Structure 1
C-alpha cells in the first residue's frame, strides 16, 4: 500500500472521530461554562471590586458554538419547509 494513501486515510479517520465526538458532545451537553466569569455568572468591577452580572452570559452558561450552528441551520430548514 502507498504510504500517502495510508496517511490520508488515518487523517480522515481522526478528523471524522473528532467531528462526531464534538457533535455528540453538543447534542448531549449543549451548554458550557462561560469563560469570562468561569461559570459563576458574576464579574467584579475593576475599580471597586463589586460583583455584577456577567454581560456575556448572564447566568454562567453559554451555548456551545457547535450547538449554535446546529440551531441556526435547523431554524433555516424549518422555516423553508413551512
Structure 2
C-alpha cells in the first residue's frame, strides 16, 4: 500500500468513527466546566465548593458536538430549500 492510500484510509476511518459517535451520542461534556455545570472554587480552608454557573453550557454540563451541529445545520438548510 502506498502512503497516500494509507493516509486516505486512516482519514476515512476517523471520519466514519466520529460520525458514528455524533449519531449515537450527539452531546459531549462541556470543556469549560468539565461536565459539572459550574466552576469549582475553593473556600478559605481549601475545600472545594460550587462556583459560578457555566455560561458556555448554560449549567447543563453538556454541549452539542461539532459534527452533530453541522449535520443539524445542513439538514435544516436542505429542509428549508426543498419546501
TM-score class, shorter: 0.7 to 0.9
Offset of residue 60 of structure 1: 0.3
The equivalent residue for 1:74 is 75
Unaligned 5+ segments in structure 1 are none
Offset of residue 42 of structure 1: 1.0
Across the two proteins, how many residue pairs are aligned to each other? 77
SS of match in other structure, 1:56: coil
SS of match in other structure, 2:2: helix
SS of match in other structure, 2:52: strand
Tell me the TM-score normalised to structure 1 length: 0.83
Runs (4+) of structure 1 exceeding 4 A deviation are: none
1:41 matched to 2:21? The reply is: no
Aligned equivalents of 2:16, 2:26: Cα separation in 1 = 14
The equivalent residue for 2:9 is 13
| Bigger proportion of residues as helix | 1
| Bigger proportion of residues as strand | 2
Encode CA deviations 1:36-71: one digit per residue, 9 max, x unaligned. Answer: 1110111257xxx76222100011000001110110
Unaligned 5+ segments in structure 2 are 42-48
